[in-house]
Amino acid sequence: MRVSSKVCSIIWKAVLLILCTWGLLDGSGILAGNYTDAFPHMFTNIANMFAWVYFLCAVIWLCVRFRDPEAVTFAPVIKYTAAVSLLVTMLIAHFMLFNTLFENGQIVLHLLLMHYVVPVMTLLDWLLFDEKGKMPAWGPLAWLSLVLVYLAFTMIAVGVFGVYMGGGTTADVTSYPYTFLDPAISGTGGVVTFCLGMLAAFIALGYAIFGIDRLLGWAGRKG
């Protein structure tokens, strides 16, 4: 059952914002006074920054329209673009890059926040506070927008114009932010396969969320 309290929704989103802010500041090196140039090259960081902007706008919007019963979800397409992007990065981090979450045997706080806490809280925000059964069937395709822009920009910037976007986990290995995007390392076929696989994962996850949304909407009407 949906939580209809705007107060709870605003508080949840505000806590998410605080944790996301901490993760971004710590992950970028700003808190330590040593900004990492490669920080904005990684899709996880971009997805978290995208979500941060969204939830800041959502909190402001809910506060301004606090007494409006129709004001439930701010800019749903943008919200679910952020949600799917965060969830895919969480799955990739967990199943493909899990070892990078640790340093000297200890989990790195900002990686925990950005790879797990913020994605899960974003998913729960949808489950707890959004009206169900209203997602459009074309939604999961629109939610591809962030990763499509990221992939296109990265491949053109590095592959065509020679812009250096490495320096994170790929320092001194490749100019790309990830080795699996570098044709010289993974091969052209490997890069294409990875990109198609990522897009397929986005679509599959998007339609899984769409299906759950429709099911919950139907159950809510029956109840």
Q: Which pTM does this prediction carry?
A: 0.94
What 3-state class would DSSP assign to 107? Answer: strand
pLDDT of residue 48: 98
- pLDDT at site 223: 61
Residue 5: per-residue pLDDT: 97
Let me know if residue 78 belongs to a domain.
yes
Query: Which residues in the chain show pLDDT less than 70?
Result: 223
Closest CA to 141 of 197, 191, 80, 194: 80
pLDDT for residue 4: 94
* Containing structural domain, residue 80: 6-222
| 157 in any annotated domain | yes
Q: Tell me, yes or no, whether 1 lies in a domain.
A: no
- Domain presence at residue 62: yes
| Residues 208, 214, 216, 218, CA torsion sign | negative
pLDDT for 138 equals 97
Report the domain count for the chain: 1
Pick from 100, 101, 5, 21: nearest CA to 53: 21
CA separation for the pair 125, 117 (Å, rounded): 12
pLDDT at position 15, please? Answer: 98
Is residue 38 within 8 A of residue 177, CB to CB? The reply is yes
Residue 68 resides in a domain: yes
Task: Name, in order, each residue with C-beta under 8 angstroms of 120's C-beta and a sequence gap of 6 or more.
Answer: 90
Write out pLDDT tens, residues 97-148.
778 788 888 889 999 999 999 999 999 999 999 999 999 999 999 999 999 9
| pLDDT computed for residue 165 by the predictor | 94
* Angle CA 188–149–12, to nearest 5: 125
